[in-house]
Amino acid sequence: MTPPVRTPQRSLADQPRYDCRNAYVDTLADLAHTDHRIVGVVNDSIGSSKLDAFKRAFPDRLINVGIAEQDMVGVAAGLANGGRIPFVSAASCFLTARALEQIKADVAYSDRNVKLCGMSPGVAYGELGPTHHSIEDIAWLRAIHNMAIVVPADPVETAAAMRWAAATEGPVFIRVSRMSVPQVYSDDYTFRPGKAVTVRDGDDVTVISNGTVLWRALVAAEQLAADGIEARVVSMPTVKPLDTDAVIAAAAETGGIVTAEEASTVGGLGGAVAETLAQHHPARMRILGVPEFAPTGSAGYLLDRYGMSPEGIADTARTLLTSPRQ
Amino acid sequence: MSALATEHVTMPVFGRLDPHAGRADQVAHIAEAARQIRIQDLKLVHYANAGHIGGDLSAADILATLYGAVLNVTPSTVDDPDRDRFFLSKGHVAGILYTTLAAFGFLPVEDLATFLKPLSALNGHPNRRKVPGVEANTGPLGHGLPIAVGHALSAKLDVSRRRTYVLVGDGELQEGSNWEAMMAASHHELDRLTVIVDRNRLQQGATVRETNDLDPLDAKAAAFGFAVVEVNGHDHGELLDVLSSVPFRPGKPTFVIAHTHKGHPISYMSNNAAWHHRVPTLEDLRQALDELGAGTVATNRGSTS
């Protein structure tokens, strides 16, 4: 099967970069035009969510509760009770930390049709520091039952995931990156919830990734190929529910698994993959992510620092292959 | 102590009176429903050996009034998108909510015998996916008011006249999320939203005043943009008049301070913080039922079922 990725003439590393928030707002406006139930809910985050045009187009349907995240998520649950489909749009750090109990009780446990859109997650805020980084969001929300978690890798996948979320009843958390990324997927890509996408085939080693790190994993695979190592790159946009079959297949068919994500090394995609491997198919594994309160630095600098430059991911894969088998 | 069983759930089911019934008949209907709800709830807590009886009884008259004569929701319209909404923010008084819902036909009275038992739909805090009539899964405090604001916003977007009511405890107002939501409610001019405060002045182990005082609550609510009304939260006539008259000021949400007593009207429980979640003994139960006239045959004069 042909991977649903673009096959540009130049490496992905040299492609134009896009801010996924633009795809987010364009898609939200498209959805709102065709479905009157869709509303936006923000915590004064109109500018940081790039929702100014949405506000002009739908002034009544962008509800700004002010700087009040607990209220924001409760209000979204109440709007859903009234049949609306709220897309809550707020910096992921504040949305998921400040309103965690509302996310648990009012949205997930109450089974409300609320879409939580965590803007600028991970280390996207770079130099603003760990108060504004949101590396914990996936671990926190992954522990909550009845909460789907999607981490799109590029504008195409961001738009596709939103369309799926709007059409699907139930709680969803979608991360929307502000760190620019190249377009990884072809324009006709179809998002399939809970399914991994093999974006590059290979049998020597597997890199499982998502979000802003996916393109870096693909470039790492190019570098490994130059050394004669064929890396499989598995995109895992849905962290929950996890495509465990794809994880187990990678463990069975390749020499080991490296996970790489713009999130904590605890409890994120790496944690989910490790839980699967430990119980179903023990294999050599390394988890790349952010292991601490990051020091000052841009988002790109921090990803590189934590081994998620293409070279860093490739190095980890090589090291994994030379480590003792389980 | 014998375990909760079907023989302990004998409450009559109350319908709604004809909307054109006179006020005196409505008030009598609510009063008898509230009395039967209290009798049943006391039995639930005694035989289940758990519950929050103090706050159950302070809220009983408010719930009986809402479901007995105010909300335009009945068992046959429980899924109607344009029904009035009631959110129980103080979810720990689930027992009185279940009993009230059963009294008005939303769930079978015999289901009350499962209260708190393994795999029962009737958890210690309500679950909307398991109990008809429950609008939100509450329990953590400070959640109901923001949800109610969200629902009232949805009604406004729909240009609907459906009303939104939320019952909060007074101790619960120590949670900051309520005040976030109150600012939003007045900012958005949600005048079909009514916040009812079960102002029993007690929290888990002490008075609200000793713990983190709310007074002047009326002035605070007014400053947050609400039309404030104070009622005797155990007077069915006052409750009926106020809760069916909202809004009082066009463009403003309503804040009803319902003065209540925890454990009302049981002599040894009333206004006694010790009864937050104490379980009545069999002797306590007998006395309470005696005080409620449970020995007499219930007159179910309001029933239309």
pLDDT digits (tens, 9 = 90+) for B93-107: 999 999 999 999 999
Going by C-alpha positions, the residue among B209, B208, B197 that lies closest to residue B242 is B197
Mean pLDDT (chain B) is 95
Mutation site, A81, A104, A112, interface B, largest B CB count within 10 A: A81
Going by C-alpha positions, the residue among B224, B12, B52, B264 that lies closest to residue B138 is B52
Answer whether A83 sits within 8 Å of B81, measured CB to CB.
Answer: yes
Q: What is the pLDDT of residue A1?
A: 57
User: Does residue A227 have a pLDDT over 80?
Assistant: yes
| CATH T-level assignment (fold) for domain B6-291 | Rossmann fold (3.40.50)
Residue ranges of the alpha helices (H) in A82-171?
Answer: 92-98, 100-102, 137-142, 155-167
- What is the phi/psi pair of residue B208, to 5°? -60, -40
Q: A77 contacts in B (CB within 8 Å)?
A: 136, 146-147, 150
Token digits for A96? 């998921």
Same domain, A106 and A214: no
Answer whether A77 sits within 8 Å of B155, measured CB to CB.
Answer: no
d(CA A21, CA A180): 9
Maximum pairwise Cα distance, chain B: 54
User: Does residue B1 have a pLDDT over 90?
Assistant: no
Cα distances (Å, whole numbers) of residue A144 to A102, A121, A137, A147:
11, 18, 11, 6
Rounded mean pLDDT of B203-208? 91
Chain A CB within 8 Å of residue B126 CB = no
Q: Report residue B301's pLDDT band, with 50, 70 and 90 as the boundaries.
A: very low
User: Does residue B19 have a pLDDT over 90?
Assistant: no
Residue ranges of the alpha helices (H) in chain B?
Answer: 23-48, 53-65, 94-103, 144-157, 176-187, 208-212, 217-223, 236-243, 282-291
Q: Is residue A309 part of a domain?
A: yes
List the beta strands (DSSP E) in A110-256: 115-119, 148-150, 172-176, 181-182, 197-200, 205-209, 231-235, 238-240
Contacting residues for A37 by C-beta, under 8 A, at least 6 apart:
A83, A84, A85
Q: Report residue B205's pLDDT band, with 50, 70 and 90 as the boundaries.
A: confident
Rounded mean pLDDT of B141-161? 98
Same domain, A48 and A175: yes
Chain A CB within 8 Å of residue B128 CB = yes
Least CB-CB distance to B180: which of A39, A63, A71? Answer: A71
User: Does residue A55 have a pLDDT over 70?
Assistant: yes
Same domain, A34 and A159: yes
Q: Report residue A69's pLDDT band, with 50, 70 and 90 as the boundaries.
A: very high
Domain spans, chain B: 6-291
Answer whether A106 sits within 8 Å of B143, measured CB to CB.
Answer: yes
Tell which of A133, A148, A182 closes a domain.
Answer: A182
Cα distances (Å, whole numbers) of residue A85 to A165, A176, A246:
10, 18, 32
Rounded mean pLDDT of B231-255? 97
- What is the phi/psi pair of residue B72, to 5°? -90, 50
Q: Is residue A84 part of a domain?
A: yes
Same domain, A144 and A219: no
Answer whether A82 sits within 8 Å of B138, measured CB to CB.
Answer: no
Q: Find the angle CA(B34)-CA(B40)-CA(B45) to the nearest 5 degrees.
A: 120
Token digits for B205? 């182990």
User: Does residue A241 have a pLDDT over 70?
Assistant: yes
pTM of the predicted structure, to 2 decimals: 0.95
- Least Cα separation, residue B102 to chain A (angstroms): 21
d(CA B85, CA A211): 40
Q: How buried is residue A17: exposed, middle or buried, by Cβ count under 10 Å (0-12/13-18/19+)?
A: exposed
* Beta carbon pairs, A and B, within 8 Å: 108
Q: Is residue A59 part of a domain?
A: yes
Can you give the CATH number for the domain in which A62 is found?
Answer: 3.40.50.970
Window 30-89 of A, Cβ < 8 Å to B: 39, 60-61, 63, 65-66, 68, 70-71, 73-84, 86
Same domain, A33 and A105: yes
Q: Which residue of A has its CA nearest to B81?
A: A82
Q: Is residue A6 part of a domain?
A: no
Q: Is residue A31 part of a domain?
A: yes
Mutation site, B137, B159, B161, B187, interface A, largest A CB count within 10 A: B137
Is A292 labeled as catalytic in the residue annotation? no
pLDDT tens sequence across B65-94: 999 999 999 999 999 999 999 999 999 999
Q: What is the pLDDT of residue A9?
A: 66
User: Does residue B119 have a pLDDT over 90?
Assistant: yes
Which residue range forms the structural domain that includes residue A170?
17-182
Same domain, A245 and A307: yes
Mean pLDDT (chain A) is 96
B272, B54 Cβ separation under 8 angstroms: yes
Catalytic residue among A69, A136, A157, A262: A69
Answer whether A61 sits within 8 Å of B85, measured CB to CB.
Answer: no
Same domain, A156 and A275: no
Q: How buried is residue A190: exposed, middle or buried, by Cβ count under 10 Å (0-12/13-18/19+)?
A: exposed
Same domain, A288 and A142: no
Answer whether A79 sits within 8 Å of B137, measured CB to CB.
Answer: no
Where is pLDDT greater, at B205 or A161? A161
A91, A48 Cβ separation under 8 angstroms: yes
User: Does residue A277 have a pLDDT over 70?
Assistant: yes
Q: What is the pLDDT of residue B300?
A: 39
User: Does residue A165 have a pLDDT over 50?
Assistant: yes
Same domain, A263 and A119: no
- What is the phi/psi pair of residue B188, to 5°? -90, 5
Q: Report residue A107's pLDDT band, with 50, 70 and 90 as the boundaries.
A: very high
